[in-house]
Structure 1
Amino acid sequence: MSEPLNLPDFRARRNIREKIADALRAALVAGEMRPGVIYSAPVLAERFGVSATPVREAMLDLVKEGLVSVVRNKGFRVTALSERDLDEITELRALIEVPTVAKIAATVPGERVAALRPLAEAIVRAAETGDIVGYIEADQAFHLELLALAGNAHLPGIVRDLRHRSRLYGMARLSEQGGLVASAREHLELLGRIAAGDAEGAAAFMDHHLRHVRGVWAGRAEPEPADGPLI
């Protein structure tokens, strides 16, 4: 038997990097990180309460995904998306998710669908506390677990990538106006229709939900100027 190699254990560090990357993606989708603003890894690290290294590594992961770009000797800038980009992303999601929830409603036992209720309730709790980034994370967990019930191993990853490219600039305003909780409860309504085996109703409600996200949440906010402040 060969001698064990004295190599470092990277699991804990990778876990921190992944958690930071997930939080940054959620902040991007929520519109809290804006196009044109330069984000400094050391400043973000201070807010996370960690060293700059895992933050910089997480940001480089986002660079590979096309979500941010490197600004040499300064930091990272969020990639801008046009209204057409956002419309096309929503269209693609509808083409995938609407028929998929209909299939799940028609083929998956109701008790398996109902088991996702805690995930839907987590979205409502985040809305009630005004935790927008937490809302995005809970919303993604719910939708990807729901789509996984269709049995296609590739489908959740495709939708996850599309979600990461979305921008919901109007969420903060919706939360301030008290409308976020009502929107959160749409997930419980959707789940109920699917669990009841109502394929047609589930598909129609999923289409409504996606259009709601694009039309109400994605406010027409103007991006920061290209030489915006370091954050």
Structure 2
Amino acid sequence: MTVSVHITNLQQLEKVSLRERVSRALRAAIVSGELEPGEVYSAPALGAKFGVSATPVREAMLDLVRENLVTTVPNKGYRITTVGEADLDDITELRMLIEPPLAAKVTAEIPAEDMPKLRDLARAIVDGALAGDLVAYTDADHAFHLQLLAYVGNARVSALIADLRAHTRLYGLSSLDGSELEESAREHDLILDAIEANDPQEVERLMQAHISQTRGRWARPEGS
């Protein structure tokens, strides 16, 4: 009985691991533009592309649907999400209204003992940029911003920002060169410097600049 349960658990772990690997490969293909916005792709075709069956592709796509990276097209497959310039402007406006003032508000409340953890998150963003790993970069960036919002103690705010970021977190990244990506990554350390200095006005200013510049860097009109 023990052996049977152990084997079953191993099989489940292997299945989860394959799903995660396929999810990561699909995200990378979306970032690179290999999977084009607006196009519909079937699970069997994607499975053949990545050397797996259609089943782990369908399972991985459930994650990507929740992240707003793809939408389901009944009886056909999955359409890569297209985000328009007007949508990006609206999302950026909402983030500017919410994140900078709240980051300033909690500046004095962030415990000094939490700074090493925040520095690690900021370092992970830079590491992703230096490695050219756009998925690692966006995952770490997502974690950093939501961790700051966690100090507000408002779950609805965190959920709203997570949803807004899910619509844009991979948009336009493939157009950035390495130096631009690194520059954006290192802005998080400047925000932490201001937090450590207990300077809420500077935290708000830096967060506003970061979000504004992110809009300009990540979402350039095609041909620019």
TM-score range, shorter chain: 0.7 to 0.9
User: What SS does the aligned partner of 1:154 have?
Assistant: helix
Counterpart for residue 201 of structure 1: 202
1:78 aligns with 80
Whether the aligned pair in 2 keeps the contact of 1:94 and 1:207 (CA below 8 Å) is yes
Aligned residue for 2:177, secondary structure, equals helix
Partner of 2:121: 119
Which residue of 2 is the match for residue 37 of structure 1?
39
Give the partner amino acid of 1:172: S
Question: Which of 48, 52, 55 matches 2:54?
Answer: 52
Q: Distance in 1 between matches of 2:71 and 2:214?
A: 26
What residue ranges of structure 2 are gaps of 5+ in the alignment? 1-7
Query: Secondary structure at 1:220's aligned position in 2?
Result: coil
Partner of 1:142: 144
* Residues 65 and 184 of structure 1: CA distance in aligned 2, closer, same or farther (over 3 Å): closer
Question: Of the two structures, which has the highest relative contact order with CA contacts closer than 8 Å and spacing of 6 or more?
Answer: 1
RMSD between aligned alpha carbons? 3.0
1:15-45 residue CA offsets vs partner (Å, 9 max, x unmatched): 75467557756765x4744322223323444
Percent identity between the two aligned chains: 49
**Distance in 2 separating the partners of 1:61 and 1:125:** 24
Q: Using a 3 Å threshold, how does the CA distance of structure 1 residues 129 and 60 change in structure 2: closer, same or farther?
A: closer
Q: C-alpha distance in 1, partners of 2:176/2:76?
A: 33
For the structure 1 residues 102 and 47, does the alpha-carbon distance in structure 2 shift closer, same or farther, using more than 3 Å as the test? farther
The 8 Å contact of residues 18 and 56 in structure 2, kept in 1 or not, is answered as yes
Judged with a 3 Å threshold, the aligned counterparts in structure 2 of structure 1 residues 100 and 18 are, in CA distance, closer, same or farther, namely farther
Mean alpha-carbon deviation: is it higher for 114-123 or for 48-57?
Answer: 48-57
1:1-231 paired onto structure 2 within 5 Å: 12=13, 13=15, 17=19, 24=26, 30=31, 32=33, 33-45=35-47, 50-63=52-65, 67-166=69-168, 169-176=171-178, 178-221=179-222
Distance in 2 (CA, whole Å) between partners of 1:206 and 1:127 is 19
Provide TM-score, normalisation by structure 2. 0.79
Number of equivalent positions: 214
Instruction: Give the superposition deviation at 1:207.
Output: 0.5
Rounded to whole Å, the distance in 2 between the matches of 1:11 and 1:196 is: 47
Point out the structure with the larger helix share: 2
